[in-house]
Chain A
Amino acid sequence: MPYLFLGPWLLGAIGLTVAPMVVSLYLSFTDYDLFNEPQWVGLDNYAKLFGDDPRYLHSVGVTLRYVAWSVPSKLLLALAVALLLNALRGKGQAFFRSAFYAPSLLGASVGLALAWRAIFDTWVDTPDHALVTIVLLSAWQFGAPMVIFLAGLQQIPRDLFDAAAVDGAGWWRRLWSITLPMLSPVLFFNLVLETIHAFQAFTQAFVVSGGRGGPADSTLFYTLYLYERGFTEFRMGYASAMAWVLLVAIALITAVLFRTSRYWVFYGDER
């Protein structure tokens, strides 16, 4: 009976996620070009990725730079605004919460990226600044982690703050010794989620660069290069290999984050 209820979801998960993934794993070992029967080429695609494709390595560099800039700036903004809103308790908090969340709702939309393109016209067209504009665009959409931070902040028992205040702890002291440790599980959750999202970023870069990763490849995100190889050059086998390398890389990085979490994430019931 439980499987009956799970049925619709299972069908979707298997048919739309698992099966395509298995097929793409198979295709990554072939020279599939969309039109002809795929031919088995073994590890050729993978070997070429790391040995004979400077543009691929370049796209990895661009993506890492993007992740390294966009994730911290987005989380910092989200946390700062959440702290502000938390202090607002009852004084229009609901309004400001919605207002700050709005950009995230529009976030993935093409229209917004187009507007961004128009606003930062000359920046977007210079290689040294193009990536920065995309980082800004992503940081601006801090709504989702902000709401989660806010919920986390409201879970922290008031008496901790009251006790600290009685002991003479100032605002910074309370932030450092109470808020951040108590918030660390939420921070960890947001960090993992945003890191995974950042690696998969596509829409903004695609629209802002007109689908080319330009100018001069300065915004050639991993996903953009994957798309170009697959859908404009029809090298689907190669693109599939790229997708699998990305999947494994994200899994590894997430695992590393989880390993480090034991040193800095504090769950209330541990000690």
Chain B
Amino acid sequence: MKAHGVVGLVLGAALLASGCGGGAATGGQTEIRFIWWGNDDRAKVTNEAVRLFESRNANIKVSTSFQNFQNYFEKLSTEIAGGNAPDVIQMDYRYLNEYAGRNVLLDLTPHVGKEIRTTDWDQGFIGSGKLRGKQVAMPLAQNSTTIVYDPKLFSAAGVKAPEIGWTWADYREAAAKIQASTGGKVAGSTDFGGTEDVFETWLRQRGKALYTDEGKLGYTKDDLKAFWQLSKDFRDAKATTPAELVTTLNAGAEQTPLGKKLSASEHSYDSLYGGYNTVRPDELKLGPYPSDSKEVLGSYRKPSQLISASARTKHKEAAVKLIDFLLNDPDAGKILGANRGLPANLKIREAVAQNLSGANKVIFEYQKSVDAKLGDAPAAPPKGDGTIYKLMQRKHEEIVFGKKTIDQALDEFWRDAEEALK
């Protein structure tokens, strides 16, 4: 009997101790937690940069972890709700309002230009981390929408590679020729009708935006209808992937039709080129979006990722220090390279550009080729955009599988999208 009591006590004590131990300072050291989403490549360089930070700041210990994008925000939200928020958080443009609107991100405004240096920055780009006058995040790097394509298939079909000035009709014709030239085995393009990023770029080409400044839908039913019709035109012309492949969009590069060699081209972000290049080394290139407008390409300088601190961090100073280090330290910049896109600090961007190879080189060259055409980023999307993003994908799927007509899908999309923005 007694023995059991003792065992119980010891177990209880152990539980208590382990419960209190997490995240607390050990031996006069500050310990902070930094989390991001990404793959092993990114983990390697990020951890290397963090180790360098620790060696320069002996009193700060940084524990890190990462997830893939899909699981990341689910884990983050539960951790924050459980009062166990990480101190430094990689943030996504699409989720910025979702989190900042709920007051879980630290306002960095007092530190910008001081502990977080910004002299070597494009000042307009800093603003992409601002919401209602508060700097709730700093952009980590820049990316833009692009067409990733297989140049061999383009030349084998005798069509021109993507270049500034080509139109959606040009794209459709080229894609149809490629598809025919492979006997239908490889699609000319990946169906884009369910992807909000593509829709946004297309809208911008027509002088519109996804959202108004008030956070309402910035387009009409007719706009979306025309976009879905555009995607249908590709299907009717036998220029794009079949319905079954639509569902694999937005996955890792190895799961996309282009990554699986089932498509000759697809809409993506240049910062994802590293992933494509791992699956199909040195086989793919980047080109500009087609546009029916001579002046506007639609792509913009998007913060590929941002970095924030938790509003509830107990170690504000250390968190801010780590953020500045990742953004502005030349050695950290060298280690991180273009893994997250073009570095936000222009001096570091230049230094990285001097020493390019492989995927990084392709990304930099693409950005250079379209730079004159890139717009500034719009305000971060409102709360509810994450839901709308999935909604668009789902409704488009229902159209492609013939479950709904475009008009039915449109009505349902509209109702649910407005509900999501409430």
Contact = CB atoms under 8 A, between A and B. Distances in A.
A210 B244 contact: no
Contacts of A232: 73-74, 386-387, 390
Interface residues of B, number: 29
Interface in A215-242: 215-217, 231-234
Interface stretch (B77-85, B327-335, B362-370): B77-85
A212 B244 CA distance: 15
Contacts of B247: 125, 210, 212, 214-215
A233 B81 contact: no
A155 interface: no
Nearest to B412: A54
Interface string A205-217: 0000011101111
B103 interface: yes
Interface residues of A, number: 21
A122 B257 CA distance: 13
A127 interface: yes
Nearest to A33: B102
Interface in A172-196: none
B155 to A, nearest CB: 30
B316 to A, nearest CB: 20
Interface string B382-422: 00001100100010011001010000000010000000100
Interface string B226-249: 000000000000000001111110
A208 to B, nearest CB: 11
A231 B78 contact: yes
Contacts of B420: 233
Interface string B243-260: 111111001000000000
Contacts of B209: none
Interface string A20-42: 00000000000001111000000
Contact of A215 (B80, B246, B387, B390): B246
A232 B389 CA distance: 12
Contact residues of A: prevailing secondary structure: loop
Contact of A216 (B70, B387, B401): B401
Contacts of B77: 34, 231, 234
Given A34-B80, A216-B394, A234-B77, A125 B403 contact: no
A103 B386 CA distance: 37
Contacts of B62: none
B243 A126 contact: yes
Interface string B167-202: 000000000000000000000000000000000000
Given A35-B81, A215-B397, A233 B386 contact: yes
B385 to A, nearest CB: 11
Contacts of B248: 125
Contacts of A210: 70, 247, 251
B374 interface: no
B396 to A, nearest CB: 9
Given A125-B248, A127-B401, A232-B73, A212 B390 contact: yes
A232 B248 CA distance: 19
B401 A215 contact: yes
Contact of A35 (B8, B80, B251): B80
Contacts of B356: none
Contacts of A215: 243-244, 246-247, 397, 401
Given A36-B102, A127-B403, A214-B394, 18 more contacts: A34-B80, A34-B102, A35-B80, A54-B412, A125-B244, A125-B245, A125-B247, A125-B248, A126-B401, A210-B70, A210-B247, A214-B397, A217-B394, A217-B398, A231-B77, A233-B386, A234-B77, A234-B98
17 contacts: A33-B102, A34-B78, A35-B80, A35-B103, A35-B104, A122-B244, A125-B247, A127-B403, A210-B247, A215-B246, A216-B394, A216-B398, A216-B401, A217-B394, A217-B398, A231-B74, A233-B420
CB-based closest 8 A-B pairs:
A35-B102, A34-B81, A125-B244, A216-B397, A215-B247, A216-B398, A231-B74, A125-B247
